[in-house]
Chains A and B, each alone.
Chain A
Amino acid sequence: EVQLVESGGGLVQPGGSLRLSCAASGFTFSNFWMHWVRQAPGKGLEWVSSINGDGISTSYADSVRGRFTISRDNAKNTLYLQMNSLRAEDTALYYCVRSTWPWGQGTLVTVSS
Chain B
Amino acid sequence: DIIMTQTPLSLSVTPGQPASISCKSSQSLLHSDGRTYLFWYLQKPGQSPQLLIYEVSNRFSGVPDRFSGSGSGTDFTLKISRVEPEDVGVYYCMQSLQLRTFGQGTKVEIK
Contact = CB atoms under 8 A, between A and B. Distances in A.
Contacts of A82: none
Interface residues of B, number: 20
Contacts of A46: 102
Contact of A45 (B49, B60, B99): B49
A41 interface: no
A100 B105 contact: no
B51 A100 contact: yes
Nearest to A99: B96
A60 B48 CA distance: 22
The B interface, classified by DSSP as helix, strand, loop or mixed, is strand
B101 A101 contact: no
A32 interface: no
Nearest to B1: A62
Given A50-B99, A95-B48, A100-B39, A45 B105 contact: yes
B92 interface: yes
A102 B105 CA distance: 19
Contacts of A35: 100
B39 A45 contact: no
Contacts of B101: 47
A105 B48 contact: yes
Given A100-B39, A101-B60, A45 B51 contact: no
A88 B42 CA distance: 27
B102 A59 contact: no
Contact of B48 (A44, A50, A61, A106): A106
Counting chain A CB atoms within 10 Å of each CB, which of B51, B54, B92 scores highest? B51
Interface of B: 39, 41, 43, 48-51, 54, 60, 90, 92, 94, 96, 99-105
4 A-B pairs with the lowest CB-CB distances in the bound complex, closest first:
A47-B100, A103-B48, A101-B51, A45-B102
